[in-house]
Structure formats: C-alpha cells, structure tokens
Amino acid sequence: MSSYLLDIQNLSVEVEGTVILENINLSIPYSESYVLFGPNGSGKSTLLKAIMGFPSYKVVNGKIIFDGKDITNLPTSERVRMGISIAYQHPPEIKGIKLIDIFKFCLKKKPEEDLEPEHYELIDKLKLRSFLNRNINVGFSGGERKRSEIVQMLLLKPKLILLDEPDSGVDIESLRLISQEIQKYITETGSSALIVTHQGEILNHITTGRACVLLDSTIHCYKNSQEIFNTIKDVGFAKCIECQERGVKIND
C-alpha cells in the first residue's frame, strides 16, 4: 500500500484548449497538511479543481492517485464519495435552498429528519444557528459564507480537504473559528489537507507539514511553511526557491 493519500504523477491540465499545468508532481502522505503558495496565474486553483475532477479541467496527461486508487477519469461525484472535499475561494449564492437543507443533504438525511446534537454543536461553534432557514449564502458576508462552507465540508467527513484561499475576504474572528474546527477535524480523524493561500494568515492557526511553491509548472516542497512564506514575502517566489536550492536558509 502506498504511503501517500494523494499522489499526482506528471499531471498536465487543459482548460478551454489552453494547457495551464504541465507535468505536475505532488505527493501528500496520510495525516498531513500541506500549504501551496504561488503567484497569480500559476495554476494553484486549477490544480485543486483538477483533483476534484471538474469537467472543464481536462487532464491531458498523467495520473491522480487517491487512497491507492487511480481517480484520473472518475467523475466529481465519485471523488466526493471517496472522501475528497473542496472549499471554494468565492462560495456562490444559491437561491431557493435553505442552509439547513444543504446540511441535511451532506449528512444524507431526509428533509423531515432533524440534525443530531453534535451537528448543532458544530453549527453553533461557527455561529450559524440564525442562518439555518436562509437561502445559501444570499446576503452572507465573506466570513459567513466561508463558515457555512466549512460546516458543509466537515459534515461530509472527507479524507482529503482542499482549501482554496480560506483566508481571503474573511474577518479575523471567522478565520479563527474555521481554522480551529478544521484543525480539530484533521487532528481527530487523521485526514490530510492541501491549502492554497496568498496571505498566509491561516498558517497561524493550522499546523502544516510542508510548504509547496508552484512556479513554472513545477512544485517545490520544503519544511517549515511559515519560514518559506516569510522568505517569499521578502524576496519573491523565484528567489525563495533559488535560496532553498543553494542551501541558504535551507529547511530540507
């Protein structure tokens, strides 16, 4: 059995006829969280969506191995059933569906069934009790949308959590709340996570095993995510990688 929960091998991804990622390699072990940095347009969000199997993100080469199984050609719904879940950078508004209904859907409950006490406990921790009968994300602030989406994600009990800019457009309290619950879930279940971030604020709340930098269709991974992030802020992505490869402030 492989020691990796997620093993991406020579992956190339095309979107609307344009190759966005080419020959990407990334392996995430069981029970570890990685953070993924990279400049705008480097393909970070594309990678997450390719892992989820979104139809418009076409894999033209390579493989995605999840939990020992080749999922490269599986539909998104099957990947969700296998235990992959994603939180979007900009969760959309959905009119006509109440928040409590989507929570029940995540739990495979019938509309007439009620949630369990532990589910309400999670909802209360993320301060969403008063939102249950509102349309999904309609009129929600950025922080409220992210808190709502994290509840949905955790109710699905994923093995692999994909977070696309979880600290973007989120107030300090909301970031603290969602980070606490994500870290608690990861610790208790042994799940893994791949976190895309520009701001790096979430690193103050979630323990990550490695920092990976996506640059020019190559992923470079190092230990100590906070130090790598600080180096990126000081000298930029390319020079950060150059410093690591020359052994300057090396972490690995």
61-90 confidence digits (pLDDT tens): 999 999 999 999 999 999 999 999 999 888
CATH, domain range 90-192: 3.40.50.300
Mean pLDDT of the chain: 92
Mean pLDDT of 91-116: 95
CA distances from 116 to 47, 154, 206 (A): 35, 14, 27
Q: Which two tokens stand for residue 113?
A: 């069934």
Determine the Cα–Cα distance for residues 12 and 201; give it in Å rounded to an integer. Answer: 30
Q: How confident is the model at residue 2 (pLDDT cuts 50, 70, 90)?
A: confident
pLDDT of residue 252: 44
Q: Which residues contact 246 (CB under 8 A, 6 or more apart)?
A: none
Mean pLDDT of 151-162: 97
β-bridge mates for residue 4, sequence order: 29
Residue-wise pLDDT for 119-130, tens only, equals 999 999 999 999
Residue-wise pLDDT for 199-227, tens only, equals 788 888 898 889 999 999 899 999 888 88
CB 121 within 8 A of CB 101: no
Instruction: Identify the burial level of 73 via C-beta atoms within 10 angstroms of its C-beta, where 0-12 means exposed, 13-18 middle and 19 or more buried.
Output: exposed
The domain spans of the chain are 90-192
DSSP state at residue 67: T
In the sheet where 192-196 sits, what is the strand order?
84-87, 160-164, 192-196, 33-37, 210-215, 218-223
Instruction: Identify the burial level of 55 via C-beta atoms within 10 angstroms of its C-beta, where 0-12 means exposed, 13-18 middle and 19 or more buried.
Output: exposed
pLDDT of residue 243: 82
